[in-house]
């Protein structure tokens, strides 16, 4: 006979499954609703120059408000939107919105928009990008598209063709989350990415005493140099990491140390704030006597 403990365990498991399914249905309804009503938001996280800490561009990050307050993380709702066949519509909305926002910023600042591999499935991605640029009047060189390497594992030839078409529009292309995939090196030479973004997982909790990680980071940076690509390090959470990644030769730094992703209305006030210096600012020369 089964012990009561086992029975309870089975019941709890089944209830857990039901909860999970209900939770999933609620999220699907939320995503459908937001897609139908353009109720997503975009937040913008500054990416700063490793040379002087000045903001160079902002990464646009999707946000979905939960009815009870707070946000559902994109790591949860983006895959759901992909499954529901809604990511292309949402992605086009994000492109438009981000270009509109950036068109109101100082000329020197760019915006980066994340793309889902699913958006490469159809033929209208290039058109969505071109029309977001045309509608906003944003110069193409101010827009960067971030893709993940998962994209290049499948349909490589047609994807490379689409990327080439985007390049011809004049936007730049960044390889996001570099180093986390299965084939990071296998494709890098096949397409002239403008930029590599080193994944946050290399940097989380990392301090100078971890020699192995330092070697890997240095190798990624010099790989970028060799291939004529700029390098952004994401996930910089403290001044020590900022100084180390600057010293390793990264061009750009991004992370909570500089700023969390900001609602659109907070971008202008952020630009007025005195900039956060890097960990070990070069000292001003002593005053002339
Ligand atoms: P990602 O493109 O790699 O974006 C960077 C993520 O790291 C963001 O998470 C950002 O908030 C977080 N982050 C930045 N600095 C730090 C830091 O110092 N510490 C920590 N712990 N985290 C940091 P978020 O906004 O939750 O986005 C997660 C992922 O969702 C993104 O990763 C991207 O893959 C996806 N995503 C976001 N917006 C979009 C979008 O518009 N379209 C698509 N297709 N995917 C998106
Ligand atoms: Mg990104
Ligand atoms: Mg990233
Ligand atoms: Mg990432």
215 has pLDDT over 50:
yes
| Residue 134 exposed, middle or buried by CB count within 10 Å (0-12, 13-18, 19+) | exposed
Residues touching ligand 1 (Cβ under 6 Å) are: 45, 61-62, 73-75, 78, 91, 94, 114-116, 146, 176-177, 200, 234-237, 254-256, 261
Report the separation in Å between the CA atom of 18 and the middle of ligand 2, taken as the mean of its atom positions: 33
Taking each helix axis from N to C terminus, what angle separates 87-103 and 74-83, rounded to the nearest 10 degrees? 130
| pLDDT given for residue 230 in this prediction | 97
pTM: 0.91
Distance CA 219, CA 197 (A): 14
Map tokens 């909860």 to a residue.
19
Q: How far is the CA of 101 from the centre of ligand 1 (A)?
A: 18
Ligand 1, atom 11, residue with closest C-alpha? 261
CB contact at 8 A, 180 and 198: no
Q: For residue 177, which atom of ligand 1 is closest to its CA?
A: 3
Q: If you measure from the C-alpha of residue 186 to the centroid of ligand 4, how many angstroms do you get, rounded to a whole number?
A: 20
Is the pLDDT at 173 greater than 60? The verdict is yes
Digit-coded pLDDT (tens) for 13-62: 566 888 889 999 999 999 999 999 989 999 999 999 999 999 999 999 99
Tell me which residue has its CA closest to atom 8 in ligand 1.
Answer: 61
Q: What is the three-class DSSP state of 239?
A: helix
pLDDT tens across 57-114, in order? Answer: 999 999 999 988 999 999 999 999 999 999 999 999 999 999 999 999 999 999 999 9
Ligand nearest to the CA of 204: 1
pLDDT at position 15 is: 66
CA of 73 to the centre of ligand 3 (A): 14
- SS3 assignment, position 146: strand
Nearest residue CA, atom 14 of ligand 1?
255
* Ligand 1 pocket mutation, candidates 61, 77, 97, 113, criterion most atoms within 8 A of CB: 61
ipTM above 0.95 for this complex: yes
Q: What is the DSSP string of 20-47?
A: HHHHHHHHHHHHHHHHHTT--EEEEEEE
Cα-Cα-Cα-Cα torsion 81, 265, 171, 225, nearest 10 degrees, comes to -100
End-to-end CA separation in angstroms for the chain = 94
Using the mean position of ligand 1's atoms as its centre, give its distance from the Cα of residue 78 in Å: 11
Strands (E), the chain: 41-49, 55-65, 71-72, 110-114, 143-148, 172-178, 195-198, 230-233, 252-254, 262-263
Whether residue 289 is predicted with pLDDT greater than 60 in this model: the reply is: no
Mean pLDDT, to the nearest integer, of 226-243? 94
Which pLDDT score is estimated for 209?
61
Token output for 254: 């991004």
Protein residue whose Cα sits closest to atom 19 of ligand 1:
235
């Amino acid at each position: 006979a089964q012990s009561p403990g086992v029975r309870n365990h089975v019941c709890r498991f089944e209830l857990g499954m039901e909860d999970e399914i209900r939770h999933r249905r609620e999220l699907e309804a939320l995503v459908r609703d937001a897609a139908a009503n353009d109720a997503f938001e975009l937040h913008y996280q500054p990416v700063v120059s490793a040379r002087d800490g000045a903001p160079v561009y902002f990464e646009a990050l999707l946000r979905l408000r939960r009815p009870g307050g707070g946000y559902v993380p994109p790591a949860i709702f983006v895959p759901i939107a992909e499954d529901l066949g809604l990511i292309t519509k949402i992605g086009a909305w994000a492109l438009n919105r981000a270009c509109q926002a950036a068109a109101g910023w100082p000329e020197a600042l760019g915006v980066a928009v994340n793309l889902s591999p699913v958006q490469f499935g159809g033929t209208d991605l290039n058109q969505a990008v071109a029309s977001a640029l045309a509608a906003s009047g944003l110069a193409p060189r101010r827009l960067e598209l971030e893709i993940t390497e998962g994209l290049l594992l499948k349909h490589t030839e047609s994807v490379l063709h689409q990327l080439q078409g985007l390049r011809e529009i004049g936007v730049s292309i960044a390889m996001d989350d570099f180093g986390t995939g299965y084939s990071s090196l296998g494709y890098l030479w096949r397409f002239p990415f403008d930029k590599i973004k080193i994944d946050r997982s290399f940097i989380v909790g990392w301090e100078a005493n971890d020699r192995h990680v330092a070697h890997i980071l240095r190798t990624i940076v010099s790989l970028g140099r060799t291939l004529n690509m700029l390098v952004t390090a994401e996930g910089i959470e403290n001044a020590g990491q900022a100084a180390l990644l600057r010293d390793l030769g990264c061009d750009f730094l991004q992370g909570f140390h500089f700023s969390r992703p900001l609602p659109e209305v907070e971008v202008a006030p952020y630009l007025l704030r005195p900039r956060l210096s890097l960990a070990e600012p070069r000292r001003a020369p002593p005053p002339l006597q």
